[in-house]
Amino acid sequence: MSPALTKRSFFLFPRDRAVKAFVIDEYNLIPKLLPQLINENYIYKATLIKGGNGTLWEKVDSIVYEVRYVTSGPDKCIVKVAGEYHLKEGITLEEDDIERNHHTNKRFYEIMAAYLVANPITYT
């Protein structure tokens, strides 16, 4: 087993507000509060321990995603998504499973991109 460390922080506001600020709107909040931390590229790493329905979740315990948002000009960016699959014991993953998951992720980002293009002042 890998070593693990858990730290707790207590805040004087509700959980829902913390999730909205720290997770959902993190990329808007951090530049406002800590502009010195911002550079041209953002990297977000998250572990997904439960997903949608499908055969993939019968095979994996978790997927660690690393999402990189890379500047590609003044009004453009590239989103790179890497997935590290942690398989259930004795299970092998087929290339088709990874491709289907990649297609789902790509579609998710295409939907978000279409929304941002249709709503140009949102998240500016």
The total domain count for the chain is 1
Residue 114, in any domain of the structure: yes
Q: Report residue 38's pLDDT band, with 50, 70 and 90 as the boundaries.
A: low
**Residue 117: predicted pLDDT:** 86
Residue 2, in any domain of the structure: no
Residue 93, in any domain of the structure: yes
Query: Residue 90 is encoded by which pair of tokens?
Result: 């004795």
Residue 26, in any domain of the structure: no
The reply to whether the predicted model has a pTM over 0.85 is no
Range of the domain at 53: 40-118
Residue 31, in any domain of the structure: no
Q: Report residue 8's pLDDT band, with 50, 70 and 90 as the boundaries.
A: low
Residue 97, in any domain of the structure: yes
Residue 18, in any domain of the structure: no
Residue 20, in any domain of the structure: no
CATH code of the domain covering residue 46 = 3.30.530.20
**Residue 26: predicted pLDDT:** 74
The residue-averaged pLDDT of 113-118 equals 84
The residues near 84 (Cβ < 8 Å, ≥ 6 apart) are 63, 64, 65, 66
